[in-house]
Chain A
Amino acid sequence: MKRILFAAAAIAALGMSTHAFAQTATGTITVTGTVTGSCSVVTGGSGNAFGGTIALGELDDTTTGYLQTGLEGATPVSGATQSFQINCNSGNPTVALSATRLSTTGSSTGGYSANIDYTADVTAAKAGGGTTLYHYTTAASLPVASSGQLGDRLANTPANIVVDARSFAAENGATSILDAGSWSSTITVVISPTS
């Protein structure tokens, strides 16, 4: 009886050995990554800040003291346009545009002007072709920022963001004398990587 049991045990041991060869180990390794929604500056700045200066030079007609009529036009004068390349990785970025009045120190009355209102434009090139325009016109009481989504991805091309200034208007009319001095204004453009 003991022998029979040993034999049976030996056969069982052989069986176990055969079973061990058929077992496969399967590994599943997951690779993950993230692309954070981001708009970064390629030309015209670095990191997430871009900037430039629209230097208009002499603002007045030196034969009258009034704002140069060329600046009053709806087409930006030479030098009133700045281009940048901003790369955004989101599907539908948002552009917000605001500006301050072009001003010099002091205030003016009686036929003089110390502030000039104007329209700032941002022209954003879309990846699928075409552009989206944003306009902001300054006023004595500044309006809220002009803001909206692009409607497409931002084109991955040079000068995909163009900023210009036009339609300047002296606060006290076209025949007001501009105060002598240095004049300045700031246009602020925020491009956010919304989807």
Chain B
Amino acid sequence: MNRIKHLFISVAALIGLCVMGGVAHAQSATGTIGVTGTVTLNCVVVTGGSGSAFSGTIALGELDDPTTGYLLGSLSGASPSGAEIKSFQVNCNGGHASIDLKATRLSNASGTALAGYSRNIDYTTDLILTKSDSSTQSFSYTTAPALPADTTGTLGGRMANAAGNVVVQIHNLSAENGATSILEAGSFSSTITVAISPIT
């Protein structure tokens, strides 16, 4: 009988320990607060415009050699300089950017010029983009009587976050009817269109 009593006491002690042990654990409250944000894919104009639009004018001035009436020889060269170059800063936050480049002929009027004259000038425009590793990538488009399809491509890297990361230039101007055709008097104009779209 005494043994049974001892057994009961031992069991009770064990239960007591278990209950006491469970109660002794303190319970902490743990909070997990997420902080979230979004950066939307975007290309924004820092210099040379605002928002998503940039623009400028390549003002070539007098196009013809006043001693001959022909297109200035200096405009026919492959190396643009001075007024033939415009710079912008466009910030894009994607890992890459897609490019679309096109232009119209530099024209005075519609229709066909008389023999020996020119009212359209074809040219090549370059879009030179600086990447974040300081290297550059170029895209070119050359006008023609039947305008070719847009030049498209992908910038293989990030745009540099730097002034002048977008350069547009023109060169190799060529009168439609030859270097010895006379440019018709009047105002000549053309439009170069550049689209830079952010991609991941």
List the interface of chain A (C-beta within 8 A of B). Answer: 34, 36-41, 44-45, 48-60, 62-65, 82, 84, 86, 88, 90, 99, 102, 104, 106, 109-112, 116, 118, 120, 161, 163, 165, 175-194
Contacts and interface: CB of A to CB of B under 8 A. Distances in A.
Contacts of B32: 49-51, 186-189
Interface in B17-34: 23-34
Given A63-B51, A110-B133, A179-B93, A184 B27 contact: no
B23 A36 contact: yes
Given A51-B33, A63-B50, A65-B93, A180 B42 contact: yes
B93 A161 contact: no
A166 to B, nearest CB: 11
Contacts of B34: 51-54, 184-187
Given A53-B33, A186-B35, 12 more contacts: A36-B25, A37-B26, A40-B29, A48-B30, A49-B32, A50-B29, A104-B39, A112-B93, A163-B31, A176-B161, A180-B42, A185-B34
A79 to B, nearest CB: 11
A54 B94 CA distance: 25
B40 interface: yes
B170 interface: no
A193 B25 CA distance: 10
Interface of A is mostly: strand
B161 A50 contact: no
Interface residues on B, range: 35 or more
Contacts of B94: 180
A132 to B, nearest CB: 16
Q: Which 5 A-B pairs have the closest CB atoms?
A: A111-B161, A110-B132, A37-B26, A39-B29, A189-B31
Contacts of A88: 29
Interface in B129-161: 132-134, 158, 160-161
